[in-house]
Structure 1
Amino acid sequence: MSEHLWQPSAELDSLRQRGELLRNIRNYFHQEDVMEVETPMLSHHATVDPHIDSFQTVFTPLGTKAQEKLYLHTSPEFPMKRLLSAGSGDIYFLGRVFRNGEAGGRHNPEFTMLEWYRLGIDHHALMDDVTGLLAAVTNFEEQARFSYRELFEEEFGIDPHTATDETLMKLTHEYVDSGLSGLARNDYLDLLFSTSIEPNLGDYVDGQIQGVFVYDYPASMSALSRIIVNEQGQKVAARFELFANGYELANGYHELADGHEQRARFEKDLQERELLGKPVYPYDQNMVSALEQGFPDCAGVAMGIDRLHMLIAQKRAIKDVIPFEFFRA
C-alpha cells in the first residue's frame, strides 16, 4: 500500500471552499423557511430503477443468527415523500447517498446529494427556484430553457416524440456508433442526446456558470414525474434537467401523486431489471402507501453537489473536491 494514501485526495483550500458551499446552501433554505430533514441511510427497500444499483448489507440482531437484508439508500426521495404525505411542508435533504458501480472521473460510490421539495408549484416554477439557489451560492446565470423536442429538431431535424425507432437507429449509426442495433427506443435517444447535445449545453465564462434547462422529456422517461400534454398535443414527462458546461447538475419533477400509477411503474421497472439480468430489489411499499393516502401537489429536484463544486472550482475529477476518494477510503 502506498505511503501517500493517508493524505486527502482534495487540497485543503478546495475543502474549505466546499464547506462554505454547504453552509451557503443551508443558509438559502433557512431564509426560504424550508425545513432540513434527515432520512434513513439503511432501508428495507431499494431503488428499482433499471440503471441504478444499490449496495446491500445484512443486519444481524445481537444474540441471534438471523440475517435481514438491508440496502444503502441511492436517494432520500422515498422517505421524503412519506414526510410530505404526513404534512411536513417544504423540505430539503443535504447528505451522502450511495450507488454501486463506477468509481473515478466524475463518479464516486458515495457522493453528496441535495434534494428538495416545494409545495404547490410545477416543474417550471421549480426551475426558477433552482436558479435562485444557485445564484445565491455561486456565480450562476440561467442561459436558456429548451424543450427536449426543440433540441432534437435543431440537432437532428426530427421530433423525438414521433420519430420511428428505425430513424433513431440510423441517426445513432451516423452520430454515435455504426455497430449499435437492437436497442430500446430510450437507449437510442439517450445516446444521441449524451453524444451530440449534452456536451454543448451551458458554459463556464469568466468565472460564471451558465446553465441550460431542458424540459418536457418523452413520456417513456417519466420516472417519478407526472405525464402532461405539451403544446403540440403530445404526452411528455413533466420533468427537467439542468446542464452547465456539459455536466448534468440537477434532475427535477412535477411529482407523480398517483399511488396506483407509481406501483405500476415500479412493477414495470422490476420486469426490466429482470430482463437485463440485474438484481431484483424490493420496492418501497411504504412510499406507495403514502401516495395512496394523499400526496400534496409539489415539485422536487435532486442536485449533485460534488459536480457543482467541480464546476465552481474548475476541477475535472471528483477526487479533487472530496476529502478522500473511493480508493483512499
Structure 2
Amino acid sequence: MTSTPDTAMVRDMVRIRKVEEVLADYYRDEQQMRTPTHFSIGQEATSVGVCAALRRTDPVYTGHRSHAPYLAKGGDLRGLVDELHGRETGCAKGRGGSIHLVDHAVGFAGSAAILGEMIPVAAGAAWAFALTGAPRVATTFFGDGATEEGVFAETMNFAAVHRLPALFVCENNTYSISSPLAQRQAAGFGIAARAAAHGVHAVSVDGNDVFAVRAAATAAVDRARAGEGPVLLELHTYRWREHVGPGWDHDHGYRTREEIDSWIERCPIRRAADALRPAHPDIDDLVAAWSAEYTAEAHDAVRLAKAAPWPDVADLTRGAYGPAA
C-alpha cells in the first residue's frame, strides 16, 4: 500500500511505542541506563499529531517527557539511545541523559528537567521570530503540572501582548506525578480557559485522536505563522506507565488498574487504525509489520549503544560553561 499522511502518522506512533517499550524493558532488566526516564507510552498521538503540522525549521522545546516529541520531530534514534546510555555519541554527548535531548538538524531545540522551564524559552525564540520577521513558529510541550508554575501565567501574558508566533502544547494526562488534576486545580476552569484569560487563543482537544490533534495543530500553526498570535492546545491524554521509570504503578495507591485499563482501551494507535480500516483494509497488517520492524530497530540501537565509546574524562566539562569545541 502506498503511504499516505494518515498511515504515516500511525507508523510514527507505532515506532515511538515500540522504541519506548524496548527501552523500558532494558532499563528495568539490565540497569545500564541510569538516567531518570519518563516514557510517553499511551501519549503518542500528541507528539505525532503536533509535529505533523510543523516545518523542520520550527523549533520544538520540551520538558522531561521528551522521547516522543524528539522522535516525532525526526530526532536521530541512535542519538537518543546512545544518550540514555551516557555515551559520547549521544545527542548531548552523553552528558544530558533522557531529559536533555537535542537535535538541531531537525529542529528539536532541546528538553529540560525543571518544571515549566521551556515554556518561556520557547516564547523567547518566538519573540526573536516576531522581531526579525522569520516565518517560523516555536512550539513547546509540557504537562498539566507545569501550568501551576508562575512562569506559565507570565508567559501566556507576554505571548499574548506581543502576539508571538508560538504554539503551547499542554499534554494533560491528569496527573502531576501522583497528584490528580481535580485536587490541584479548580473545577470548571480548565487549562485552556486559563490561557484564554490571558488573551491566548486556546483549544481543548482529544489528545488520543491523532487526526484531531493534527487538525488543531495545523490551524494553530497557520494562525501563529500568519501573525495572529500564540495558541495553546490542551490535549487530553494519559500515560500508561509510572511518572518516571519503566514500570506500572497501579499498586502505588494513587490510581487503579481499572483506570489505567480504561485508558488503554482508548489507545491512540488502535483508534487511528480503526478509523483508517475502511479506506485501508490492510492497516492491521501494516501495524504488525511496523511493530516488528521498529522493535528490531530499537534492539539494534541498544546493541550499538553498548559498544559506543564513553566520554573522555578530560572532556567532561566541555560545553558546560560555553559552546563545546
Rg bigger for which structure? 1
State if a TM-score over 0.5 links the two structures. no
Which category describes the TM-score, using the shorter chain as reference length? under 0.3
More helix by share: 2
TM-score by length of 2: 0.27
More strand by share: 1
